[in-house]
């Protein structure tokens, strides 16, 4: 039965409940009449059956039982009643727990009074000792070790972020080199030391440059060859159109990365990803982009200064 | 208004008012009995279980929170659980009583069964017995919701609005369930 017939059957059942006959329903659904007919006739036959009636004796008997129950005060909670009603496994579990508590208390009392210390003996076997600076579960040496390991990483991350701020400042200072150059040119047109004419967020202020169709956070970084050398005008660098957004269709072979990163380094060294180059002129060998040593990932600087 | 009246009735029932309970019993006993009768195999068992439903209601009314749903929906859930408990204790894994199968089978195949064996009882006809067994299997195989809407419709006598109130469904959803149940039932019987 497909959905249409099922819907028609449901509609017919609704009509029949309101008093319509089989033929009347079929007239409303002529296209499904053949399939609906047998269903509706069966439905009608089933509806025609008489409903069973309870015996008067059973009715009265049930009523008396109910009133008798009403006379009984409602049961209130009692621990003994709960224990009686609890399943067997719960009773056994409670008994075992009570036994262990008693044993533990006795062992502790024995140790405190200078007698044998069975609990301590057992715990020492499994490496938990009541002696030493890290006694107890909540004050273990393991927690201290974790703290020792955790802190350097945390501080290292903090240092990296400070580096990035420094890198950004450096980049801003060097960015003056690109001023006055033709921004629309995808190549680096600044002179020596002008590492990246189109770097930073938004290579083009107006974003309407045909050579810079993207509006992402990427840039048109120079190759590493351009770091110290001349950036010849009109000579397109291999990674001129890389980075997030620069290439609108992102199909360029030279655009392997789609991250938010800059592609200011040599394409051989910049595998894409969330790469952000540093402003210190180093080539980026980090797949994740940052040249900050010790910084595994992160969103680094917005400016590339390779 | 009906909801307000039921809310007030429940409030009085919580105070163990005999009048309130008498009214609840008189209004709903027959429906509860029919539902149970459709699911168990014995009239006396059905009577006992129906009585148990109201005893359970008296015990559980303190924890019942009226939220606008008909009181019958709560009683129906008690009845459903009572029948399930009955099956567990008697180790009978029936979901529909044999008498219900016989009744439904008689309605569905009545003419055919009579034409096959007009003189004797239906049980004497192996074909009719097989049909009944098939119908029992078919009903048992129905999803619970489909089975319940058929029982409430044909054996308790509720309309879609009442069934919807019991099962927390819209009447249109009840009609759809009934259509699918009917189709599934007949498909299994082919």
Query: What residues in A contact B32, CB-CB < 8 Å?
Result: none
B170-185 pLDDT tens trace:
999 999 999 999 988 8
Q: Could A42 and B186 be called an inter-chain contact, meaning their C-beta atoms sit closer than 8 Å? A: yes
Average pLDDT over residues A124-136: 48
* CA of B53 vs chain A CAs: smallest distance (Å): 10
B106-160 pLDDT tens trace:
666 554 444 443 333 333 344 444 455 556 567 778 898 998 999 899 889 999 9
Name the helix (H) or strand (E) containing A174: helix A141-174
pLDDT at B99: 63
Q: Could B186 and A13 be called an inter-chain contact, meaning their C-beta atoms sit closer than 8 Å? A: no
Which residues, 6 or more positions from A34, have their beta carbon under 8 angstroms from its beta carbon? Answer: none
Q: What confidence tier does B80 reach under pLDDT thresholds 50, 70, 90?
A: very high
Most A CBs within 10 Å, among B152, B175, B189, to test the A interface:
B175
Query: What residues in A contact B171, CB-CB < 8 Å?
Result: 14
pLDDT at A275: 38
pLDDT at A280: 40
Most B CBs within 10 Å, among A62, A64, A85, to test the B interface:
A62
pLDDT at B165: 94
Query: What residues in B contact A9, CB-CB < 8 Å?
Result: 179, 182-183
B54 vs A161, more confident: B54
Residue A58 forms contact with B (CB below 8 Å): yes
Residue B120 CB burial class (10 angstroms; 0-12, 13-18, ≥19): exposed
Q: A100-109, A158-167, A281-290, B170-179 — which one is most confidently predicted on average? A: B170-179
Segments forming the whole domain that contains residue B172: 142-190
pLDDT at B40: 82
Co-location of B135 and B162 in the same domain: no
Q: CA A93 → CA A53, A82, A96, A107, distances in Å?
A: 49, 14, 5, 21
DSSP character string of B51-111 = HHHHHHHHHHGGG----SS-HHHHHHHHHHHHHHHHHHHHT---SS-HHHHHHHHHHHHHH
Q: Could B178 and A10 be called an inter-chain contact, meaning their C-beta atoms sit closer than 8 Å? A: yes
- Nearest by CB to residue A46, choosing from B154, B171, B180, is B154
Co-location of B128 and B173 in the same domain: no
User: How far is the C-alpha of A207 from the C-alpha of A246, rounded, in Å?
Assistant: 10
pLDDT at A306: 36
Start-to-end CA distance of chain B, whole Å, equals 47
Per DSSP, what are the bridge partners of residue A220? A198
Total domains present in chain B = 3
Co-location of B58 and B21 in the same domain: yes
Q: Could A45 and B108 be called an inter-chain contact, meaning their C-beta atoms sit closer than 8 Å? A: yes
pLDDT at B39: 85
Confirm if B52 and B80 have CB atoms less than 8 A apart: no
B92 pLDDT above the threshold of 90: no
Residue A4 forms contact with B (CB below 8 Å): no
Confirm if A212 and A203 have CB atoms less than 8 A apart: yes
A135 vs B2, more confident: B2
* CA of A86 vs chain B CAs: smallest distance (Å): 18
A54-94 pLDDT tens trace:
999 999 999 999 999 998 877 665 555 555 556 677 778 87
* CA of A16 vs chain B CAs: smallest distance (Å): 11
A223 pLDDT above the threshold of 50: no
Chains A & B: contacts with CB separation below 8 Å: 110
Confirm if A227 and A248 have CB atoms less than 8 A apart: no
Nearest-CA neighbor of A299 among A274, A265, A270? A274
Nearest-CA neighbor of A294 among A161, A167, A171, A169? A161
A185 pLDDT above the threshold of 70: no
A180 pLDDT above the threshold of 50: no
Give the start-to-end residue ranges of the domains of chain A: 3-38, 164-306
Question: What is the dihedral sign for C-alpha B30, B31, B34, B40?
Answer: negative
pLDDT at B90: 78
Q: Which residue is closest to A58 within chain B, CA to CA?
A: B47
Most A CBs within 10 Å, among B18, B42, B48, B51, to test the A interface:
B51
Which two tokens mark A157? 């991350």
A255 pLDDT above the threshold of 50: no
Q: A208-217, A257-266, B126-135, B137-146 — which one is most confidently predicted on average? A: B137-146
- Percent of chain A past pLDDT 90, that is, above it, reads 17
Co-location of B130 and B152 in the same domain: no
pLDDT at B111: 44
User: How far is the C-alpha of B83 from the C-alpha of A82, rounded, in Å?
Assistant: 25
Q: What confidence tier does A155 reach under pLDDT thresholds 50, 70, 90?
A: very low
B36 pLDDT above the threshold of 50: yes
A16-33 pLDDT tens trace:
999 999 999 999 999 999
Query: What residues in A contact B104, CB-CB < 8 Å?
Result: 46, 49
Which two tokens mark A290? 């940052």
Q: Could B54 and A62 be called an inter-chain contact, meaning their C-beta atoms sit closer than 8 Å? A: yes
Give me Rg for the CA atoms of chain A.
41
Q: A57-61, A175-179, A231-235 — which one is most confidently predicted on average? A: A57-61
- Percent of chain B past pLDDT 70, that is, above it, reads 73
pLDDT at A237: 42
pLDDT at A79: 58
CB count in 10 Å sphere of residue B12 = 16
A73 vs A252, more confident: A73
Co-location of B164 and B119 in the same domain: no
- Nearest by CB to residue A14, choosing from B103, B154, B160, is B160
Question: What is the dihedral sign for C-alpha A250, A253, A257, A261?
Answer: negative
- Nearest by CB to residue B25, choosing from A39, A43, A66, is A66
The chain-wide mean pLDDT, for chain A, equals 58
| CATH code for the domain of B58 | 1.10.1740.10
**Interface TM-score (ipTM) > 0.85:** no
Query: What residues in B contact A7, CB-CB < 8 Å?
Result: 176, 179
Co-location of B83 and B123 in the same domain: no
pTM of the model: 0.50
B9-26 pLDDT tens trace:
999 999 999 999 999 999
Q: Which residue is closest to B37 within chain A, CA to CA?
A: A52
Question: Which of the residue ranges A143-147, A150-154, A182-186, B76-80 would you say has the lowest mean pLDDT?
Answer: A182-186
Q: Could B176 and A10 be called an inter-chain contact, meaning their C-beta atoms sit closer than 8 Å? A: yes
């Amino acid at each position: 039965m497909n959905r249409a017939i099922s819907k028609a059957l449901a509609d017919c059942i609704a009509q029949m409940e309101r008093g319509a006959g089989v033929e009347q329903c079929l007239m409303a659904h002529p296209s499904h009449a053949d399939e609906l007919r047998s269903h509706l006739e069966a439905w009608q036959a089933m509806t025609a059956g008489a409903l069973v009636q309870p015996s008067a004796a059973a009715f009265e008997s049930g009523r008396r039982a109910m009133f008798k129950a009403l006379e009984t005060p409602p049961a209130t909670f009692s621990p003994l009643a709960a224990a009686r009603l609890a399943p067997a496994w719960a009773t056994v579990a409670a008994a075992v727990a009570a036994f262990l508590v008693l044993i533990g208390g006795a062992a502790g009392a024995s140790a405190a009074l200078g007698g044998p210390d069975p609990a301590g003996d057992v715990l020492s076997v499994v490496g938990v000792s009541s002696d030493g600076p890290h006694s107890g579960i909540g004050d273990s040496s393991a927690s201290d070790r974790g703290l020792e390991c955790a802190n350097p990483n945390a501080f290292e991350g903090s240092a990296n972020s400070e580096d990035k701020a420094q890198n950004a400042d450096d980049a801003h200072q060097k960015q003056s080199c690109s001023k006055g150059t033709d921004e629309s040119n995808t190549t680096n047109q600044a002179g020596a030391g002008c590492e990246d004419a189109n770097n930073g967020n938004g290579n083009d202020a107006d974003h309407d440059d045909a050579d810079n169709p993207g509006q992402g956070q990427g840039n048109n970084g120079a190759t590493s060859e351009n770091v110290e050398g001349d950036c010849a005008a009109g000579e397109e660098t291999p990674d001129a159109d890389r980075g997030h957004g620069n290439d609108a269709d992102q199909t360029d072979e030279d655009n392997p990365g789609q991250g938010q990163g800059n592609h200011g380094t040599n394409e051989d060294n910049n595998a894409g990803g969330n790469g952000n180059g540093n402003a210190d002129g180093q080539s980026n060998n980090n797949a994740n982009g940052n040249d900050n040593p010790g910084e595994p990932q992160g969103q680094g600087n917005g400016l590339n200064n390779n | 208004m009906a909801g307000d009246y039921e809310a007030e009735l429940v409030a009085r029932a919580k105070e163990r008012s005999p009048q309130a309970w008498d009214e609840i019993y008189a209004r709903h006993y027959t429906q509860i009995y029919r539902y149970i009768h459709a699911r168990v195999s014995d009239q006396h068992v059905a009577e006992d279980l129906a009585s148990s439903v109201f005893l359970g209601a008296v015990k559980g009314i303190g924890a019942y929170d009226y939220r606008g749903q008909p009181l019958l929906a709560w009683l129906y859930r008690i009845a459903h659980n009572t029948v399930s408990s009955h099956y567990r204790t008697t180790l009978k894994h029936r979901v529909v009583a044999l008498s219900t199968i016989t009744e439904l089978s008689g309605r569905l195949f009545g003419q055919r069964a009579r034409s096959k064996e007009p003189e004797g009882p239906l049980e004497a006809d192996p074909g009719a017995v097989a049909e009944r067994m098939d119908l029992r299997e078919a009903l048992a195989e129905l999803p619970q919701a489909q089975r319940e809407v058929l029982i409430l419709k044909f054996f308790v006598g509720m309309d879609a609005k009442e069934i919807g109130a019991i099962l927390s469904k819209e009447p249109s959803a009840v009609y759809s369930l009934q259509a699918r149940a009917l189709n599934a039932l007949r498909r299994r019987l082919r």
